[in-house]
Amino acid sequence: MNRYQAMFERLDAADQGAFVPFVTLGDPNPKQSLEVIEALVAGGADALELGFPFSDPVADGPTIQKAAIRALAAGTKISDCFAMLTEIRDRHADIPIGLLVYANLVASAGLDNFYQRCAAAGVDSVLIADVPERESAPFIEAAHAHGVAPIFIAPPDASNARLQSIAARSEGYVYLLSRAGVTGTESSMQKPATAVIQALKDANSAPPLLGFGIAQPEHVAAALAAGAAGAISGSAVVNFIANHHQEPERLSEELTRFVRKMKQATNNRAALLQHS
């Protein structure tokens, strides 16, 4: 059983959904980035979604773009990211770790090399934001060769045929978008389409996690009420880093408090579904 399967089984038994925070590795610098991760885990994060800093993050809004700029300005390199991943895995043996990256970072050193490094660092999954599932075969092959789960994005307006394709290719979970566009709390979350979630379930997909615009406990509860297995929050988390990175102790406290509130909203999942 892989870490995602173990997580979802544990959460189902506890009548909970998953809360998954996202941050960019190296933001605001490699040392402090590890402290950020510890604060997220202390708050009760069920899994981690982590990005590599990249100069042209086309799927991301200004908040996460600025996180990448901070990380790059601090001198964060790909080798630093893998070193951080290795340390995170050493500290936390069971928590699922997913990467959300861009194709250039994966392909620049060779697909096989990238996924080999992921496996060695204890990464469970990789989502490549700018590779659609129809062009994904070489990435999936390399991922499978090293025991890494490929993850794909399900947009809210996807056709049934496309959702079936996404379901067939995604392992671990499916990243379900609450709305079109780029990441960010600048555009509020839209009510998730229960029909999309049901179509994924009918296609025997991996559990869907809802992302984009998840900034409040009410958003998490709405995701679960629509049938999602949990929620991913990125920009809301990264905003704490932007606002408090010069106060490390306060930053850790604020992040832990935020994650704890968001995680609490995943309780009583069955009741949320019944009242949706």
**What pTM value is reported for the model?**
0.94
- What is the helix (H) or strand (E) element at residue 49, kind and residue range? strand 48-51
- pLDDT category at 185 given cuts 50, 70, 90 is very low
pLDDT tens-digit map of 117-170: 999 999 999 999 999 888 999 999 999 999 999 999 998 888 999 999 999 999
Contacts of 230 (CB under 8 A, 6+ apart): 11, 17, 18, 19, 20, 46, 207, 209, 210, 220, 223, 224, 266
Mean pLDDT, the chain, integer: 92
Contacts of 62 (CB under 8 A, 6+ apart): 184, 186
Whether pLDDT at 181 is above 70 = no
d(CA 66, CA 70): 6
Whether pLDDT at 74 is above 80 = yes
Whether pLDDT at 93 is above 60 = yes
So which residues are the catalytic ones? 49, 60
Q: What angle do CA 95, 99, 101 make, to 5 degrees?
A: 170
pLDDT tens-digit map of 2-53: 999 999 999 999 999 999 999 999 999 999 999 999 999 999 999 999 999 9
Least confident of 171-175, 183-187, 214-218, 252-256: 183-187
- pLDDT category at 276 given cuts 50, 70, 90 is low
